[in-house]
Amino acid sequence: METDPIRSKTERPLSELTLESVVAGEVTPEDLSIGAETLRRQADAVEAAGYRQVSQNLRRAAELTLLSNQEVLEIYKALRPGRATHAGLLEIADRLESGLGAPLTASLIREAAEVYLLRGIAK
């Protein structure tokens, strides 16, 4: 079965990302970023080899490719102990799910919200 070539986040095939094209100014930093599809493919391979949790992490990672560095940093900060309210975390989860198509990450954050409340580390 023929597989599609690996593409960057910007949908450029790996074969285009050569030293010549970098020197010619035809490659941007975004072109050197991993895309969601590649992450999901790696997740499939890893899952088939029996690494379920690693594969789930890669599926969450696939969702996060759509977020800017700044957004990622902000969510991370919110998840640190005592930083966000229960409602605040749920709000982030909703935004991720409905706005950004990131249901797996949303589910992780909802779970955090629930446990943080139980353990008294929500803000």
Least distance from C-beta 73 to another protein, angstroms? 6
The DSSP letter of residue 102 is -
Residues lying near another protein in the complex (CB under 8 A) = 6, 8-9, 14, 17-19, 22-23, 25, 27-29, 32-35, 38-39, 41-42, 45-46, 49-58, 60-65, 67, 69, 72-73, 75-77, 79-81, 105, 108-109, 111-112, 115-116, 118-119, 121
DSSP state string for 16-81: G--HHHHHTT---GGGGSB-HHHHHHHHHHHHHTT-HHHHHHHHHHHHHTTS-HHHHHHHHHHHST
Q: Report the residue number, 9 or 86, with the smaller CB distance to another protein.
A: 9
- Single out the residue of 17, 44, 21, 18 nearest to residue 31, CA to CA: 17
Least distance from C-beta 94 to another protein, angstroms? 16
Least distance from C-beta 88 to another protein, angstroms? 14
- Single out the residue of 35, 39, 36, 15 nearest to residue 27, CA to CA: 15
